[in-house]
Amino acid sequence: MGRGKIEIKKIENANNRQVTFSKRRGGLVKKAKELAILCDAEVALIIFSSSGRLYEFSNAGMRQTLTRYKKFINPSEPTVVEHREEKQETMEVDILKEEISKLKAKQMQLLGKDISGLSMNDLQHLEDQLNGGLLTVKDKKEQLLADQLQKSRLKEQLVTLENETLRRQVEELQTFLQSSERSGPRCLDFYPVNRNKTVVEHSGVSTDTVHNCGVDLQLGLSSEDCRKRKAPERKNCSSHSGSRGSLM
């Protein structure tokens, strides 16, 4: 069964009218899109609802289509939209050019050039601006110098602390070496000394022999090597004493 014929007249019910408007609007936009694609046509669609809401569609841009439409209707007269846009762009360009020229003139004045046309008030205002800028620059410079000084002080404190730490380590190392030297073996432990005499009489060894043995121990020789080394000296000493006795 097909749909019943609908009488074309205003729908009195507001809800039904809104529903019908939404459906018909969607179908109309769909048909416009299909027409633009299938036929390669430039299509523009403008719809205002009963509440004043705007709905539009254009495959080439609404403004371009409207401009083309107005030119087609009356090609001898320029379009109002195009004229307004050109006028607005020209005004904006002129304003920007004027601002650029003012900034350039102000820059030249700040550099001390092109100030011949300035009055006394203008010169005073320019001087105040320069003084204010100079104070700002000085404050910024002082701040940077203060920051650098603070960083230098921190570095100095760190270096001082490191030097103090190294000094303590060196002192501890020196103390350790001195204690190691004092606690080393002595030759007197191998050759006891008589308390009542200044000459060592144990096994016929003199103080010179003990002293030499101590030197050998400091050079890293053991007690056995020291005894072996001093054995020839003892023989020479005994032979020398024997020869002396024979001479006497």
Q: What is the pLDDT of residues 5-24, one digit of tens each?
A: 777 888 888 888 889 999 99
Reported as a pLDDT band with limits 50, 70 and 90, residue 72 is: confident
Reported as a pLDDT band with limits 50, 70 and 90, residue 74 is: confident
Q: Exposure pattern of 111-146 as b/e (b: 16+ CB <10 Å)?
A: eeeeeeeeeeeeeeebeeeeeeeeeeeeeeeeeeee
From CA 200, how far away is CA 191, in angstroms rounded? 8
Q: Indicate the SS3 state at residue 168.
A: helix
Q: What is the pLDDT of residues 100-113, one digit of tens each?
A: 988 888 888 777 77
Q: Tokens 């009218």 sit at which residue?
A: 17
* Residue 207 token pair: 């103080």
Q: What is the largest CA-CA distance in the chain?
A: 172
Res 246 pLDDT > 90 = no
From CA 199, how far away is CA 204, in angstroms rounded? 10
Q: Indicate the SS3 state at residue 57.
A: strand
Mean pLDDT in residue range 59-77: 82
Q: What is the pLDDT of residues 145-192, one digit of tens each?
A: 999 999 999 999 999 999 999 999 999 998 888 888 777 555 444 444
Q: Tokens 């000084």 sit at which residue?
A: 149
Q: How far is CA 25 from its chain centroid?
A: 58
Res 207 pLDDT > 60 = no
Burial class (CB in 10 A: 0-12, 13-18, 19+), 102: exposed
With 0.75 as the threshold, say if the pTM is over it: no
Beta-strand ranges (E) seen in the chain are 44-48, 54-58
Res 67 pLDDT > 60 = yes
* Residue 54 token pair: 């705007």
